[in-house]
């Protein structure tokens, strides 16, 4: 009888007193989930305490920005950025010197004139009254040739003519003439660049006309391929590099020979035409010797 009672008790009590395996798993999962929730909440707390309160951060940013502005104004003042136009607007030599100095700033990562965002509104207001760019830059349309950056010159300082292959057509010549005669620019820099796609296309196509309107690039570089000796075995990259430099010289010559206005100003010592080549990787502009004051023959530079 006692045994029977015990068995009966076990039947009713056992399911409650001894949890089944399934229930055990359920409860351990619940515990696990609670533990994860607790851990996540704790981590969240930690993160909250690690991050400084928002008002403090914005106050710190403001202090840093003010300090940054003060330092940049000091640098700009020390480098003579503010004030009236300097020697760059007075002579071809002065203009070239400022382009060289600006390019050095660009190469060394110390751009100054194009780092003055705080001055933009005042600059726009001043330039709305008129412009007097001290230099004309004739260069390629290539997206890597932003001349304001390359020469570290803000708005109003450079008059830019851009054509694929830096090969000015008749309207480009008109633009150059407008700048040198009406705006008083003191130097015309005709700047090619390493790995120029336009020169490369002309090089690779040879006598075969390029498709679409691209044939005009070949027409704009007459005699270029014949002007550069290409020894057998010379790598294509080296040949292209020679062509790029020759093209910059020849296009600079073309500006001088095709424009009476440019010739006249050069002869009077009021303007210089300077070929140059830009290196994409270093950012360095290699200025080639300025052209003679009298219009040279296109065949003079090989």
Q: Which residues bind Zn ion (CB under 5 A)?
A: 140, 142, 196, 198
Q: Which helix (H) or strand (E) holds 34?
A: helix 21-50
**Which two three-digit tokens encode residue 72?**
């940049």
Helix axes 260-267, 236-258, angle to 10 degrees: 90
- Report the residue number, 178 or 215, with the smaller CB distance to Zn ion: 215
98 alpha carbon, distance to own chain's centre: 19
- Report the residue number, 198 or 252, with the smaller CB distance to Zn ion: 198
**Which two three-digit tokens encode residue 35?**
């533990």
Closest contact distance (angstroms) between CB of 193 and Zn ion is 6
Q: Which helix (H) or strand (E) holds 273?
A: strand 272-278
Q: Three-state DSSP class for 233?
A: coil
Long-range contacts of 78-86 (CB under 8 A, 24+ apart): 79/112, 81/112, 81/113, 81/116, 85/132, 85/134
Nearest CA to 274 out of 171, 183, 189 is that of 189
Closest contact distance (angstroms) between CB of 180 and Zn ion is 24
- CA–CA separation, 291 vs 248, rounded Å? 11
- Report the residue number, 134 or 278, with the smaller CB distance to Zn ion: 278
Closest contact distance (angstroms) between CB of 217 and Zn ion is 10
Closest contact distance (angstroms) between CB of 139 and Zn ion is 8
- Report the residue number, 140 or 188, with the smaller CB distance to Zn ion: 140
Q: What residues are paired with 136 via a beta bridge?
A: 159, 188
- Report the residue number, 142 or 245, with the smaller CB distance to Zn ion: 142
- Report the residue number, 140 or 288, with the smaller CB distance to Zn ion: 140
Closest contact distance (angstroms) between CB of 59 and Zn ion is 48
Closest contact distance (angstroms) between CB of 74 and Zn ion is 38
């Amino acid at each position: 009888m006692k045994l029977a009672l015990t068995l009966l008790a076990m039947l009713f009590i056992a399911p409650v007193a001894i949890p089944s395996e399934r229930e055990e798993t359920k409860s351990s999962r619940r515990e696990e989930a609670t533990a994860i929730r607790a851990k996540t909440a704790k981590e969240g707390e930690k993160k909250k305490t690690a991050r400084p309160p928002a008002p403090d951060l914005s106050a710190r940013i403001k202090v840093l920005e003010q300090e940054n502005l003060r330092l940049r104004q000091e640098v700009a003042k020390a480098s003579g950025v503010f004030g009236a136009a300097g020697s760059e607007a007075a002579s071809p030599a002065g203009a070239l010197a400022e382009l060289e100095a600006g390019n050095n700033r660009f190469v060394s990562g110390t751009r100054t004139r194009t780092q003055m965002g705080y001055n933009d509104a005042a600059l726009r207001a001043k330039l709305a009254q008129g412009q007097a760019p001290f230099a004309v830059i004739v260069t390629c349309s290539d997206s890597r040739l932003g001349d304001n950056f390359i020469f570290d010159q803000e708005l109003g300082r450079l008059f830019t003519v851009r054509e694929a292959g830096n090969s000015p057509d008749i309207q480009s010549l008109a633009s150059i003439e407008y700048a040198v005669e009406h705006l008083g620019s003191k130097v015309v820099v005709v700047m090619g660049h390493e790995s120029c796609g336009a020169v490369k296309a002309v090089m690779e196509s040879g006598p075969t006309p390029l498709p679409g309107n691209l044939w005009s690039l070949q027409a704009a570089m007459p005699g270029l391929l014949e002007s550069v000796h290409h020894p057998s075995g010379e790598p294509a990259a080296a040949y292209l590099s020679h062509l790029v430099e020759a093209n910059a010289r020849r296009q600079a010559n073309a500006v001088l020979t095709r424009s009476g206005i440019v010739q006249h100003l050069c002869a009077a010592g009021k303007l210089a035409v300077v070929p140059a080549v830009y290196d994409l990787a270093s950012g360095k502009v290699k200025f080639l010797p300025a052209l003679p004051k009298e219009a040279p023959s296109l065949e003079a530079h090989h």
